[in-house]
C-alpha cells in the first residue's frame, strides 16, 4: 500500500516504515514560530509547566508582526516579554519588523521541505507549499514543545486535489483556492490534509503555491501540502536528492480525490461573510466598494504587487476609494521598490502600509467603518475582521482587487490584463 505526502513526511520525521490515518503519535519538532500576540502566553505557560530551559533555542523563531508597528499602548508589553525571554534562552532568531511570520519562515529558510513545523497561528499551513508538515497550535501546546521538542498529532486523512491544464489569463491561485473552498465548504477539510497536485500546480510559482496552502486552513485543514520539486529546492536552497521520499504514491489511500480542469477556472470572489460564499466575479459586476486591500500572508508577495502595478500603471484609483497595500515582508517591499512597482502604486493613489499584519486582522492601517465595503486579498472575511461588524468584506485575487479599486466597483480584472 502507498502513502500520501502527509504520511510520507510523518514517516520521515518519526523514522517509521508505516503510518495510518487516524493514528496518534509523537513527532520531533523541527522548527517553531511564535508571533508577538502569543509570545507572553507561551512564556507564562512554559514557566507554569516548570520548564527552565527551552529544548533547542536554534529551532525557535520569534516574529513580531501582528503588533507592528504598535497600535495601542499595551502592545509593547508583548515585545518586551518576548525580547527578555529570547535573551534569557539564547533564542537568536527574533524578527522585530521584517514582515509577516508566514512569509518570513520560508523566505528566510527557517523552514525547508520535509520538516514538521508548528506555529502559534492558524496560517502556519502556508509552509505546506514547500512540502513541510506545518500547522497552527495553541500557546499551551507551544509551551510544551519549548520544554520537550515533541508534540503528539493524529495522522490526518488526505483529500487530494488534482488540477491539470493551463490557467486562463487573469485567473490565479487565489481563484483556485477560493473555488475549492466554495466546493468543499469552510468545514470540508476539518483535521484533514489537503494535497494539491497536477500540472497546473507544477506550473505555479512558489509564491502562488503559498496562497493555496495558506488558505487550506480556511477549510479547517490540518495541513495544505504540495510535493516539493525543482522550484521548491531552488527556493529553499536545498539539494533535491535528499528529498526523493517526499512524493505521494499513486496507490496512496486518499479519502477523496477531486479533479479540476484549470481551463475552466474563472476569477471568483468570496462574498461576505464566509470564505466559502463563492461567486463568479461576473455575477458581482458593479458592486460598489469603498476600499481595496492588497497584502497579507495570502497575497502580499512580489508577484501580487506586480500584477496590481500592471493594472494601475498610469491610472488613478476611483475618487472616494481607498487602496491599502501591505507587502508581506521587508525584502518584498524593497524588491518592489527597486522594480518601480511601489512608485506605480503610490502614483495611482495607493496608501502603503508597513510589511506586517496590520489591516488584515483589523488592528491598524485602514480600519473600516459602519457600512463600508472592502475587497481584499487576504484570507478571512468574517464579520468585523477589518473593523466594524457592520462593514462587508469580499475576498479576491490581487488583480481583481486592483481592478476594483480603479473603478470603485467590482469589475472583471481580465479586461485590464
Ligand atoms: C492572531 C492569530 C491568532 C490569528 C490566526 O491564528 O490566524 C491571525 O493571524 C489571523 O489571521 O486571524
Ligand atoms: S497577515 Fe493576516 S492572516 Fe497572515 S498572520 Fe497576519 S493577521 Fe494572520
Report pLDDT digits (tens) over 276-308: 999 999 999 999 999 999 999 999 999 999 999
47 and 133 co-located in one domain: yes
CATH of the domain at 100: 3.30.499.10
113 and 136 co-located in one domain: yes
**CA nearest ligand 1 atom 10, residue:** 361
Instruction: Find out whether the beta carbon of 122 lies less than 6 Å from any atom of ligand 2.
Output: no
Pairwise CA distance, residues 145 & 34, whole Å: 11
Q: Are 225 and 124 in contact (CB under 8 A)?
A: no
390 and 304 co-located in one domain: yes
Cell numbers describing residue 196: 494539491
Instruction: Find out whether the beta carbon of 296 lies less than 6 Å from any atom of ligand 2.
Output: yes
Ligand nearest the Cα atom of residue 296: 2
In a domain, 8, yes or no: no
164 and 147 co-located in one domain: no
> Ligand 2: which atom is nearest the Cα of residue 326?
1
- Predicted local distance difference test score (pLDDT) of residue 58: 98
Decide which of 265, 293, 320 is a domain's last residue: 265
Instruction: Find out whether the beta carbon of 123 lies less than 6 Å from any atom of ligand 1.
Output: yes
278 and 338 co-located in one domain: yes
Decide which of 242, 265, 288 is a domain's last residue: 265
Residue 122 CA to ligand 1 centre (angstroms): 6
Residue 14 CA to ligand 2 centre (angstroms): 30
Q: How many domains does the chain have?
A: 3
Is 357 among the annotated ligand-binding positions?
Answer: yes
- Answer whether residue 341 shows pLDDT above 90: yes
Closest listed residue to residue 217, CA positions, set 195, 186, 260: 186
Q: Are 140 and 118 in contact (CB under 8 A)?
A: no
Pairwise CA distance, residues 392 & 401, whole Å: 14
Decide which of 88, 122, 153 is a domain's last residue: 153
Q: Write the ipTM.
A: 0.98
Q: Which domain holds residue 54?
A: 23-153
pLDDT band at 1 (very low <50, low <70, confident <90, very high): confident
Angstrom CA distances, 131 to 5, 44, 111, 134, stand at 8, 32, 10, 9
Average pLDDT over residues 96-111: 98
Residue 197 CA to ligand 2 centre (angstroms): 25
134 and 234 co-located in one domain: no
Pairwise CA distance, residues 93 & 39, whole Å: 14
- For residue 103, count other CB atoms closer than 10 A to its CB: 27
Is 297 among the annotated ligand-binding positions?
Answer: yes
Cell numbers describing residue 322: 481607498
- Answer whether residue 123 shows pLDDT above 90: yes
130 and 163 co-located in one domain: no
CA dihedral 277, 280, 283, 288 (to 10 degrees): 70
pLDDT band at 47 (very low <50, low <70, confident <90, very high): very high
327 and 402 co-located in one domain: yes
260 and 276 co-located in one domain: no
Closest listed residue to residue 332, CA positions, set 302, 311, 352, 293: 302
Pairwise CA distance, residues 324 & 317, whole Å: 11
Residue 335 CA to ligand 1 centre (angstroms): 26
Amino acid at each position: 500500500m502507498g502513502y500520501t505526502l502527509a504520511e510520507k513526511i510523518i514517516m520521515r520525521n518519526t523514522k517509521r516504515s508505516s503510518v495510518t490515518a487516524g493514528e496518534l503519535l509523537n513527532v520531533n519538532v523541527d522548527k517553531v514560530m511564535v508571533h508577538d500576540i502569543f509570545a507572553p502566553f507561551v512564556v507564562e505557560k512554559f514557566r507554569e509547566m516548570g520548564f527552565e530551559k527551552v529544548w533547542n533555542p536554534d529551532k525557535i523563531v520569534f516574529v513580531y508582526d501582528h503588533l507592528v508597528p504598535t497600535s495601542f499602548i499595551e502592545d509593547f508589553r508583548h515585545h518586551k516579554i518576548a525580547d527578555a525571554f529570547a535573551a534569557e534562552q539564547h533564542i537568536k532568531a527574533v524578527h522585530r519588523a521584517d514582515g509577516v511570520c508566514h512569509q518570513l519562515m520560508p523566505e528566510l529558510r527557517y523552514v525547508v521541505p520535509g520538516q514538521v513545523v508548528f506555529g502559534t497561528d492558524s496560517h502556519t499551513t502556508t509552509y505546506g507549499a514547500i512540502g513541510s508538515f506545518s500547522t497552527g497550535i495553541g500557546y499551551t501546546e507551544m509551551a510544551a514543545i519549548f520544554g520537550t521538542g515533541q508534540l503528539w498529532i493524529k495522522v490526518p486523512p488526505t483529500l487530494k486535489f488534482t488540477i491539470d491544464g493551463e490557467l486562463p489569463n487573469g485567473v490565479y491561485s487565489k481563484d483556485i483556492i477560493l473555488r475549492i473552498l466554495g466546493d468543499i465548504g469552510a468545514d470540508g477539510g476539518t483535521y484533514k490534509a489537503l494535497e494539491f497536485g497536477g500540472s497546473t500546480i507544477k506550473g505555479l510559482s512558489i509564491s502562488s503555491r503559498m496562497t493555496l496552502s495558506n488558505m487550506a486552513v480556511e477549510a479547517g485543514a490540518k495541513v495544505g501540502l504540495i510535493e516539493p520539486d525543482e522550484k521548491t529546492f531552488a527556493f529553499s536552497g536545498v539539494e533535491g536528492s535528499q528529498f526523493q521520499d517526499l512524493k505521494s504514491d499513486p496507490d496512496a489511500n486518499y479519502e477523496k480525490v477531486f479533479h479540476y480542469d484549470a481551463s475552466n477556472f474563472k476569477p471568483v470572489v468570496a462574498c461576505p461573510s464566509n470564505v466559502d460564499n463563492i461567486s463568479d466575479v461576473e455575477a458581482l459586476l458593479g458592486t460598489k466598494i469603498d476600499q481595496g486591500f492588497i497584502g497579507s500572508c495570502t497575497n502580499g508577495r512580489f508577484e501580487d504587487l506586480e500584477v496590481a502595478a500592471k493594472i494601475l500603471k498610469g491610472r488613478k484609483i476611483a475618487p472616494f476609494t481607498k487602496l491599502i497595500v501591505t507587502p508581506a515582508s521587508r525584502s518584498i517591499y524593497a524588491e518592489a521598490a527597486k522594480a518601480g512597482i511601489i512608485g506605480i502604486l503610490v502614483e495611482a493613489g495607493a496608501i502603503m502600509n508597513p510589511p506586517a499584519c496590520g489591516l488584515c486582522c483589523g488592528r491598524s492601517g485602514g480600519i473600516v467603518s459602519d457600512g463600508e465595503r472592502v475587497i481584499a486579498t487576504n484570507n478571512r472575511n468574517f464579520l468585523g475582521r477589518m473593523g466594524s461588524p457592520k462593514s462587508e468584506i469580499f475576498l479576491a485575487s490581487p488583480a481583481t482587487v486592483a481592478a476594483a479599486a480603479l473603478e470603485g466597483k467590482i469589475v472583471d480584472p481580465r479586461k485590464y490584463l
